[in-house]
Structure 1
Amino acid sequence: MLNAKRIFHHNIQQAVELGVLYDHLSSMVTIPEQLDDLLRSQIVNAVSAFDKLMHDLIRIGMVRIFENQRLSTSKYLSETVAMQHLPGLVVDAIPPPAVRFEEIIREKLSKFSFQEPTKIADGLSYI
């Protein structure tokens, strides 16, 4: 989870740098309307960084539950796995079951966005 936090801080820093670029350019150029897109990009990048952090934390947390390194939640226990994935989750499977489980979770989470409080809370309830 520390790596997810590190990536988040890096992505937020890039968003901050867009604001610095806007400040610098707006003090030198006299067409602020065209520079406003930099500020919009800054907001989009910040929201995207947070969304990615949520995806990473939920995925990592669910894999840790799968590996018995973390207690399961009722939301986690109620999650279904398609029958097609079961052969990849047996003990002797290659790649190892935890790796395959992470792929399954990554695919499932790719359909969600964590940009609204209720969706964030719902996502975090998995872990």
Structure 2
Amino acid sequence: MQQALDAFEQAMVRARELHGLHASLSAQLTAAVDLSDILRSEIVMAVSAFDFFIHELTRLGMLECYGAIRNRTDAFNKFPIPIGVMIGVTPATLEAEIRSRHGYVSFQQPDKVADAVRLFSPVSLWVEVGASVGVDAKTLKTNFGLIVDRRNKIAHEADIDPSYPNQRWPIDRAQVEYTFDLVERVARAIFAVTV
């Protein structure tokens, strides 16, 4: 399971390096050069790192359930597997099926993250993660959901405010740093409460 956290940490290093590039370029260039899309890409990278982390953690956790390393959850027991895969199922075929089933699913919104974690862990995810980071579950889910919503505006709507005159939504370094901080704290807390 550690490899999921390690991969997340490496992806966040890349996002933070981009943040450093933004700082360096901002110090050297005038305000006439718009560098805000670097900040937008940093938010996309941070949420992508988190999504990948949840995918990896879930895959590894489910394989541990299959191998009787951890207790099987109700969600694990209900995970649909085609009959063709069930005949002679091995860890490799199960892993391939998990990757296939989850390949088009994003684990970013809080409820989707909780659904993924239930496939390998019985924890009351957002209650325990909230306690770990010192925020009540409802507030944490709301704040995390807002980060994901902003990522979606950037990735799917070009970060354009639909009201006239169709300007991009404002962004600054503080927003990105808040995103990094919350995403990292949540990912590490999820790891801590599920392993």
Same fold (TM over 0.5): yes
Partner of 2:23: 23
Percent identity, aligned pairs only, is 34
Q: Given the alignment, which residue of 83, 94, 100 partners 2:93?
A: 100
Is the alpha carbon distance of 1:72 and 1:18 closer, same or farther for their aligned partners in structure 2, counting shifts above 3 Å? Answer: same
The Cα RMSD (Å) is 1.2
Q: Mark the runs of 5 or more structure 1 residues left unpaired by the alignment.
A: 90-96
Deviation string 1:92-125 (CA, Å, 9 cap, x unpaired) is xxxxx11111111111111211111111111111
Q: Secondary structure at the match of 1:42?
A: helix
Measured after TM superposition, the shift of residue 34 of structure 1 is: 2.8
1:79 is the counterpart of 2:79: yes
Deviation string 1:34-90 (CA, Å, 9 cap, x unpaired) is 31111011100000000000000000000111111110001111112111212341x
Aligned partner of 1:100: which letter?
T
1:5 is the counterpart of 2:5: yes
Give TM-score, length-normalised by structure 1.
0.89
Partner of 1:120: 113
**CA distance in structure 2 between the partners assigned to 1:28 and 1:88 by the alignment:** 61
Q: Secondary structure at the match of 2:87?
A: helix
Residues paired across the two proteins, number: 120
**CA distance in structure 2 between the partners assigned to 1:32 and 1:111 by the alignment:** 40
